[in-house]
Structure 1
Amino acid sequence: MNPLSLIDIRLTRKDWLNLIFAVIVSRIVIYALGLWGVSMFMTGHYAEQPLLQTVCRFDCVWFYRIINNGYDLIPQWLGQKNAANWAFMPLQPFLGWIFSHLTTFENPINNYRFGLAFASNLAFLFSIPMVLMVLKQLKISAATRSTMVWILCFSPYTVYSSAGYTEPLFIALVAGVFLFSYRQQWFWVAILGMLAAITRNLGVFLVFPVLIIAIQHYGIQSFFRFKTPALKVLAAIWVIPIGFFGFMTYMYFHVGDALAFGHIQIAWGRQLTNPFHWLMFGFETGGPKLYLTIMALLAFALNIYLVVRKYYAEALFMFICLILPLSSSLNAMPRYAFGLYPTFLGLALLVERYPSIKTPMLCIFSAASTFIAIGFFGHQFFTV
């Protein structure tokens, strides 16, 4: 067994105190400044909505519709009535439904909104120790790990971890898959990978980094000879997509299209094409599209840095999770990037190598996170 798998990854008391303090401070700041900004700078309908409606925006609305009515039989939403909730995987709505039982609002929709926000905050709380254990497994220094707690808590799009979205859950599950792959604990790789694939459909591509890490552990010959460790890996790889295939089967019998979650993306203007087309479109259009283009390019630059540092499995998964959305639109590219464990691994490696950047990075991230929180709670589409 690779000695790397024997590293003690337990968090110290100091780690937990730093983590808990950072989470509490960041949640207070994001909610307080975000909601204050709405009351100060926004006008009209969106500035006057109740608290839970202000917090539960955009994708969160689709999730509570799934909780309330299940998956649509036909498209019926958006201006042209051509959108359906098929694009959204079932795990987050399921968790939101569970936690909705913690409240008894007169309007059941508010119970669902609360449940979804609670689920995302809880997932965020789990994601940070998971990422810290991964960094400890990879022998990242304690100083860098401490910095990464604050970078995670104040990442530019951290508002999504407070608003019923899947990002924190996906980070936690994907980080867990990589952690247990490093430690050769394939049962947990299978379970967490399966859950990741029904959190976001891109989770199904975890089969590729898992295989790469396994080959790094055991060598490719062990797979051709069907040795026991290799068979455990293959079993995990088969389990990861089971939930995803189950969702496809449900979609087939429910609406007659197993790939409905992909085909319905056209309602949001998403249709697969050359990703370079969208990059050129961003530069030519300018404004918010230029911002999205620059953020996408920065994400790919970080992706290349992972390759340079020889984190091939992480880089491959990050590339897949960036290139597929970019092939259909520039929209939400920054959110997709900051919803990935490899992104934070890349940032940790940068901070480890260049410690002087941590203070400027934290300042920039903190300012951006509050600005985007105000925009998100104010229903500004550039934040989506």
Structure 2
Amino acid sequence: MAVEDVARAKSRIRLMVIAVAAVPLLFLLSGLAIRYAAFASVSPDPSLAAYVRAFCKWDCTWYVDISEQGYERFPIPGHSNVGRWGFFPLYPLLVAAVRAILPFSTIAIATATSLASGYVSCLVAWPLMDKNMRAYVLYCAFVLSGPFSFYFATFLSEPLFVLLTSCLFLALKRSGYVAAGLSCALLSATRVVGVLAVLAIVVRMFEEHRAKGGSVIAFPRWLLGRPDLIIAVLISPAGLFAYMLYLYVTVGDGFAFIHVQRAFGRVAGNPLLFLWDGLSYHPTSGWLPTAPQWSALTAIAGLGLSAVLAVRRQYGAALFCAMAITLPLTSNLASMVRYVVGLAPLTMLTAMLLSASKPTFVAVLIIFVASCYFMTVAWFGGYLALV
């Protein structure tokens, strides 16, 4: 009987592993099919090469240029006076490294890498959602076959950012602080807000210290007594500092990634005023919200979900997400939908909340998959809220 129990337990584990791997694969394939159907409905050229190229819009073209040509050293006759420095280097470098091995175009390699990153990020999310299968299904559907899945199907920073964020919080869940620090270092080389994940690392350290009965005053001394924790904190901004050093050596301005934002129309201001301006930008006709209204509402929803994380005592994730929304909000509302969608703790929380009841789970799953087609068409159409 003991042998049979062990065999049954192993069989259940094997089936669970297969299910965890198969669910995101199913949505990866369905997402490809739905997005291709959307592409075929608006494109005269139904070829796969045209399909891959059609998704490369907005920031994607900048990443392609960085991967193929690197960063500018002005002046360069005949080139744009807007430098590429505002786009961080890790993902373009990764794609360039793969392109040096495989004989495919930059956008083809980037598309495959983004899809693979989305798939792996779903696998990493499984333990983060406490192995809740319904929530896991919704999360996988959202990332790979949902309304914003096109972000994870082209050359944008979101696929890698979500994957590294998930790895960081999984490392924190398992108290692997050095691994979390390495993930944060890579995040800080992917997008500037990635460096803010160090706040989540420090919060988790503080929570562990308090759980062991330590006082608030004794926390710095406890931290200094743990070399692994010091190393984790110190390496967290390494990606950002390396990029700043590169810019200083090549361009002469280590903060070029900040200064170039003015060329993109991003000027520092009051985030509350930006939100108010966005909400006040009413449509001239019809009832659908304008692109600025969608962006403002998305930012507010993201901050609200960050508050829910705090209520659920996920303080590190809440602080990271709130800061990652607020920092770009100090310039304007551009790309706010993409920024919020790319915050893995928020999308995981949303999946957990929406999977609480079976009827809600089924309805949301259908909405996610069905909306993939229409939102992809909107992406091809250049709808500004999706930029």
Give TM class, smaller chain: 0.7 to 0.9
Deviation of the 1:92 alpha carbon: 0.5
Structure 1 counterpart of 2:191: 200
Q: Amino acid of the residue matched to residue 173 of structure 1?
A: L
Q: Give 1:31's aligned residue.
A: 32
1:264 to 257, 260, 263: 260
Establish whether residue 302 from structure 1 lines up as the match of residue 305 from structure 2.
yes
User: What is the CA deviation profile of residues 306-355 of structure 1, one whole-angstrom value per residue up to 9, with x for unaligned ones?
Assistant: 12212111110000111112221212211111101211232144136555
**What corresponds to 1:313 in structure 2?**
316
CA contact (8 A) 1:318 1:342 kept: yes
Aligned counterpart, 1:57: 57
Query: How much has 1:119 moved relative to structure 2?
Result: 1.6
Identify the residue that residue 81 of structure 2 maps to in structure 1: 82
1:374 corresponds to which residue?
377
What is the DSSP-based 3-state SS (H/G/I as helix, E as strand, rest coil) of the residue aligned with 1:132? helix
Distance 1:323 1:76 in 2: 35
Matched, 1:191 2:192: no
> 2:70 matched to 1:67?
no
The equivalent of 2:96 in structure 1 is 97
Q: Does 1:130 align with 2:124?
A: yes
Report what 1:175 is aligned to: 166
Distance 2:301 2:206 in 1: 30
User: What is the rounded CA distance, in whole Å, between the counterparts of 1:263 and 1:129 in structure 2?
Assistant: 38
Which of the two has higher C-alpha Rg? Answer: 2
Contact 2:129 2:352 survives alignment (8 Å): no
Conserved in 2, the CA contact under 8 Å of 1:99 and 1:119?
Answer: no
Q: 1:144 aligns with which of 116, 128, 135?
A: 135
**Aligned counterpart in structure 2 of residue 293 of structure 1, from 276, 293, 296:** 296
Does the residue aligned with 2:313 lie in a helix, a strand or coil? Answer: coil
> 1:102 and 1:52, CA in 2 relative to 1: closer, same or farther beyond 3 A?
farther
Give the secondary-structure state (helix, strand or coil) at the position aligned to 1:72: coil
Query: What residue number does 1:209 align with?
Result: 200
Aligned to 2:250: 254
CA deviations on 1:183-223 (whole Å, 9 max, x unpaired) are 11122112111111111111111111110111100134553
CA gap of 1:204–1:217, structure 2 versus 1, over 3 A, is: same
CA distance in 1: counterparts of 2:223 and 2:255, whole angstroms: 36
Q: CA contact under 8 A between 1:77 and 1:84: conserved in structure 2?
A: no
Q: Which amino acid aligns with 1:87?
A: G
Tell me by how many angstroms 1:75 deviates: 7.8
Task: Please give the alpha-carbon distance, in whole angstroms, between the structure 1 residues aligned to 2:281 and 2:223.
Answer: 55
| Stretches of structure 2 lacking an aligned partner (at least 5 in a row) | 1-11, 211-215, 283-289
Q: How does 1:211-290 map to 2 (within 5 A)?
A: 211-219=202-210, 220-221=216-217, 223-226=219-222, 230-286=226-282, 287-290=290-293
Cα deviation for residue 291 of structure 1 reads: 1.8
TM-score (norm 1): 0.85
- In percent, how many aligned pairs have the same letter? 24
Q: Distance in 1 between matches of 2:339 and 2:77?
A: 23
Count of equivalent residues = 364
RMSD: 2.9
Structure 1 gaps of 5+ residues are 1-10, 106-110
Counterpart CA distance in 2 for 1:47 and 1:274 is: 46
Contact preservation (8 Å) 2:28, 2:119? no
